[in-house]
């Protein structure tokens, strides 16, 4: 039978192309436009070339924010991933308490970001907040509004509270898919608890862990709302992460050109790091299969 050659089939791709153009490409292009022009409003543009990019790449302000951002994401991952795994391992496997734990774990995930920020902003206040006041009463000098370390601790604890559930739930799903026979075989082989984790549970969780790490990395690298509500980026610039700095630059100072250049680089960094994560972890998986 002759194969029918009909290139009109390409038209079927058109709706998707239009949709993606309107939802992503065109907005992105306006940002690109801003990043290579200088403007003082009124839709007047002056060609600036790569000037803004050069400025941003050499800007110590951006370097500092990037440093803080990397530190923040690093700490978040270092706490949430092991903690999430630990919680998942200790959650009941079935019955009433399993459902109870699942609901309990899902709750923080359902709260809107700015509400989470508000909760912790009030919770940590020394005058009226339960946490802040209690700590003060215990004689601990805690004040997130003027101590950078306290501000960092607050922001990190808040993120751990908000997002560890995600890691835990993903790992829990991974653990649930392990057939009972594996545990029985391990018993027969007299495997220790650690060996069971290392050779059965961890390999089976690898897939979901990749997703968990990727999601938590991207989310924490783009974090804005919660620290903005709690500390506003302060004290000083202590908790000014990339997004917060970007908004300050674009909306606060109306430096649209540098902000646009910043946005593009920010986007590319996240894309690059996510791609590296993904490639490394899937290759690891393949290499093991050899």
Partner 1 sequence: MAQITLKNLAHSYFPNPTRDQDFALKEMDHVWQDGGAYALLGSSGCGKTTLLNIISGLLRPSQGRVLFGDRDVTDAPTAERNIAQVFQFPVVYDTMTVRDNLAFPLRNRGMDAAYIAARVDQIARMIGMEEILSRKAKGLTADAKQKISLGRGMVREDVNAILFDEPLTVIDPHMKWELRTQLKRLHREFGHTMIYVTHDQTEALTFADKVVIMYDGRVVQMGTPEELFETPAHTFVGYFIGSPGMNLMEAQVEGDTARLASGMTVPLGAQYGRPAGRVQIGIRPEYAMLTAGEGLPVTIRRVEDVGRHRLVRAEVLGAPLNVVVPEGMPVGAELTHVRFAPQKISVYADDWRIAPQGRAA
Residues near partner 1, by CB under 8 A: 179, 181-182, 184-185, 187-192, 195, 199-200, 203, 288-290
Provide, rounded to whole angstroms, the least separation between the CB of residue 49 and partner 1: 52
Q: Find the DSSP H helices in the chain.
A: 14-20, 26-35, 51-58, 60-90, 96-110, 113-123, 130-137, 148-176, 180-188, 193-196, 202-221, 225-230, 242-247, 256-289
Q: Which is nearer to partner 1, 157 or 281 (CB)?
A: 281
DSSP 126-166: TTT-HHHHHHHHTT----TTT-HHHHHHHHHHHHHHHHHHH
Provide, rounded to whole angstroms, the least separation between the CB of residue 198 and partner 1: 8
> 124 is written with which tokens?
């940590």
Provide, rounded to whole angstroms, the least separation between the CB of residue 98 and partner 1: 20
Provide, rounded to whole angstroms, the least separation between the CB of residue 180 and partner 1: 9
Residues ≥6 apart with Cβ < 8 Å to 225? 113, 114, 116, 117
Give the distance from CA 258 to its chain's centroid: 24
> 163 is written with which tokens?
């997002």
Q: Which is nearer to partner 1, 54 or 285 (CB)?
A: 285
Q: By the 8 A CB rule, do 116 and 108 touch? A: yes
Q: Which is nearer to partner 1, 130 or 185 (CB)?
A: 185
Q: Which is nearer to partner 1, 42 or 290 (CB)?
A: 290
Provide, rounded to whole angstroms, the least separation between the CB of residue 200 and partner 1: 7
Phi-psi region of 41 (alpha: psi -120 to 50; beta: other; left: phi over 0): left
Q: Which is nearer to partner 1, 201 or 245 (CB)?
A: 201
Provide, rounded to whole angstroms, the least separation between the CB of residue 89 and partner 1: 18
> 121 is written with which tokens?
């902003």
Q: Which is nearer to partner 1, 153 or 191 (CB)?
A: 191
């Amino acid at each position: 039978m002759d194969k029918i050659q009909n290139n009109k089939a390409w038209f079927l791709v058109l709706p998707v192309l239009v949709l993606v153009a309107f939802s992503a490409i065109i907005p992105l292009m306006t940002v690109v436009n801003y990043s290579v022009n200088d403007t003082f409003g009124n839709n007047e543009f002056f060609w600036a070339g790569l000037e803004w990019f050069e400025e941003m790449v050499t800007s110590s302000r951006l370097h500092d924010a990037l440093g803080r951002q990397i530190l923040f994401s690093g700490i978040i991952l270092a706490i949430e991933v092991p903690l999430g795994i630990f919680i998942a391992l200790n959650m009941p496997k079935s019955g009433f308490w399993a459902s109870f734990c699942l609901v309990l774990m899902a709750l923080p995930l359902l709260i809107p970001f700015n509400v989470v920020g508000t909760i912790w902003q009030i919770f940590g206040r020394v005058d009226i907040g339960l946490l802040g006041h209690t700590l003060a009463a215990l004689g601990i000098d805690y004040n997130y509004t003027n101590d950078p370390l306290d501000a960092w601790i607050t922001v990190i604890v808040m993120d751990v509270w908000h997002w560890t559930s995600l890691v835990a739930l993903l790992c829990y799903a991974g653990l649930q898919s392990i057939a009972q026979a594996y545990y029985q075989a391990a018993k027969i082989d007299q495997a220790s608890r650690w060996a069971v984790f290392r050779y059965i549970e961890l390999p089976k969780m690898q897939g979901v862990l990749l997703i968990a790490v990727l999601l938590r990395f991207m989310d924490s690298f783009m974090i804005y709302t919660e620290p903005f509500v709690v500390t506003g980026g302060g004290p000083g610039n202590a908790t000014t992460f990339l997004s917060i700095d970007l908004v300050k630059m674009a909306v606060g100072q109306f430096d649209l050109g540098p902000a646009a250049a910043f946005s593009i680089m920010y986007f590319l960094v996240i894309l690059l790091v996510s791609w590296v994560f993904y490639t490394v972890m899937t290759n690891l998986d393949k290499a093991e299969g050899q």
